[in-house]
Every structure is written in C-alpha cells, then in structure tokens.
Amino acid sequence: MAAGADSGSSGRARTSVWLEGRPAPKRRGERPTGLDRLDRDRIVAATVRLLDSEGLARFSMRRLAAELGVTAMSVYWYVDTKDDLLELALDAVTGEVELEEDPGADWRDQLRELAVSYRGLLVVHPWVSPLMGEYLNVGPHALAVTGVAQRVLRRSGLAPEQLPGALALIYQFTYGFATIEGRFARRCADAGISQDDFYRQVIGTIEDRPEFDETRDIRESRTGATVEELRTCDFAFALDCVIAGIESLRAPSRRV
C-alpha cells in the first residue's frame, strides 16, 4: 500500500466535499427507529477513532464497516467516496483546535497559543497531516482556524498585502514541523522503540562519520534533553523568529 496520495483514484475529479452540492447530511427529521441506525456523524466518529488507533494506511472502507457492524457498502449510502469521508474526518478533528479569541491579549501570545494548539492537533492525530496536504482543507472548522489566525495577525500591524505571506509562514511552518514530528512518533511506535532510543541510535551511526563533524557542537549543546523537549524548544525558537520578523517588517506607522 505504502504512501498513496493524490486524488482521482476513482476517475472523477472532484475538488472537495465542501465545494460540491451536499455538505449537509442527506435526510434528517423523522427517524424514530434510530439508535442503532447508521448516521453520517456516527460514521465520521468511527472513522476518526479507527484512524487514531490504526493509522491511515490500515484504514479501509471494509474495515470501517466491520467496526460499525455493518456491510461494507452500507457506508456508501451516507458518503460518496472514501475521499469524501476522509475530508469529513479531517474537518471534524480540526474542530479540536482551541480558538478562544481575546482581542485584549497580546497578539504575540495569541499567535503562539494558536500555533501550539495546531501543532498539538497534528501530533495527536498523525493521519491529519497527509490529509491536509491531500485535500483543499476548506471545511468549516478549517476556515474558522484560518479566520482566527488572520484576525490575530492583523493586530500585529502588518499591511493587508503582507498578511497572506505571514499567515502562510506561521501556518505552513507549523504544519511542516508537526508533520515530521507526528511521522517520527508513529515510526517509532510501529518499530516498537521509544523516540529517545531511536534518536540515540541515529546519533550513534552518525557520530563516527567525518562529514558530521561540523555539527558536533550542535549535538553537544543538546545532550541531556529528551527528543520531546528538544522539539518543543526548537518550535518555540522558530515561533520567536517569526514574531520578531513580523515586528521588524510591519508598516512603521502602526508600530505599537
């Protein structure tokens, strides 16, 4: 199976569930015999649960149906394709990002909090990251996140035409950073070793080789910390860089 991606495996070239006709559940209203009935929400919830526990590669429509105690094809009554279902699951967990807006707070703190929360999402659900790259990511929750980020960033004093670039910087950096982080974690889990052990192992095979001499001072400046701690440090420093950069490039007239 490996790293399949791309869309259009089934021939049709849809762009997004959210941009097509039917973002709402098919029929609702009278269903007195509910309870054990299928349901779009139940399907999406089960999808998220399966993706969390077994990963994207092991997820299949048949596996999902089994989990729901139903035949493989029943799911297709509620969802057009596997892609659409994954897109729904993606937006569902995107709702987990914390979005309390406090217009009185420092925009730097707010931006940091947002980035940290977003990173958390990608690390807790490692399957989110490949799907974000795969789909357009224009579901309601995704739009809410970018909306908040945009408003926070605006308070920094950047000019309107500077905002998209700055937003992309913070957003894509966090995405890329947490992607690697989540993948690495899952790799280690699959291989049955701790992240720290694996890190030490890699360092071990590298230390001898002369081409890595020039980075010895970096490695030595980081001994004694766990991989987790190191990453949190790196992430924080990168955010500091971004914020410092924004502060030095924003329109001088609006300097606070």
Partner DNA sequence: ACCTGAACACCGTTCAAGT
Q: Nearest approach, Cβ of 79 to a second copy (angstroms)?
A: 12
- CA torsion sign for 121, 127, 132, 133 is positive
Q: Using alpha carbons only, what angle is made at residue 106 by residues 121 and 147, rounded to the nearest 5 degrees?
A: 50
Of 5-64, binders to DNA (CB under 7 A) are: 9-10, 26-27, 31, 37-38, 59-63
Q: Enter the DSSP assignment of 28.
A: -
Q: Using the rule CB under 7 A, which residue among 55, 82, 120, 155 binds DNA? A: 82
Question: Residue 45 binds which entry of DNA, a second copy, none, with Cβ cut-offs from 5 to 8 Å by kind?
Answer: none
Q: Using the rule CB under 7 A, which residue among 51, 83, 130, 178 binds DNA? A: 83
Q: The tokens of 44 are what?
A: 């999406």
The size of the chain, in residues, is: 256
Q: What is the Cα–Cα distance from 236 to 190, expressed in whole angstroms?
A: 28
Question: Residue 208 binds which entry of DNA, a second copy, none, with Cβ cut-offs from 5 to 8 Å by kind?
Answer: none
Question: Closest Cα partner for 181 from 246, 116, 135, 107?
Answer: 116
Q: Nearest approach, Cβ of 71 to DNA (angstroms)?
A: 3
Question: Residue 99 binds which entry of DNA, a second copy, none, with Cβ cut-offs from 5 to 8 Å by kind?
Answer: none
Q: Both ends of the chain: CA-CA distance in Å?
A: 53
- CA torsion sign for 116, 118, 121, 126 is negative
Q: Nearest approach, Cβ of 133 to DNA (angstroms)?
A: 18
Count Cβ atoms within 10 A of the Cβ of residue 212 and give its class: 0-12 exposed, 13-18 middle, 19 or more buried.
Answer: middle
Q: The tokens of 228 are what?
A: 């987790």
Question: Residue 76 binds which entry of a second copy, DNA, none, with Cβ cut-offs from 5 to 8 Å by kind?
Answer: DNA
For residues 68 and 171, which CB has a smaller minimum distance to a second copy in the complex?
171
For residues 110 and 179, which CB has a smaller minimum distance to a second copy in the complex?
179
**Range list of H helices, 101-162:** 107-124, 128-134, 140-154
Question: Residue 73 binds which entry of a second copy, DNA, none, with Cβ cut-offs from 5 to 8 Å by kind?
Answer: DNA
Q: Nearest approach, Cβ of 138 to a second copy (angstroms)?
A: 8
The residue range among 15-23, 77-85, 168-176, 220-228 that interacts with DNA, by the rule CB under 7 A, is: 77-85
Using CB under 7 A as the criterion, which residues of the chain lie in contact with DNA when the complex forms? 1-2, 9-10, 26-27, 31, 37-38, 59-63, 70-74, 76-78, 81-83
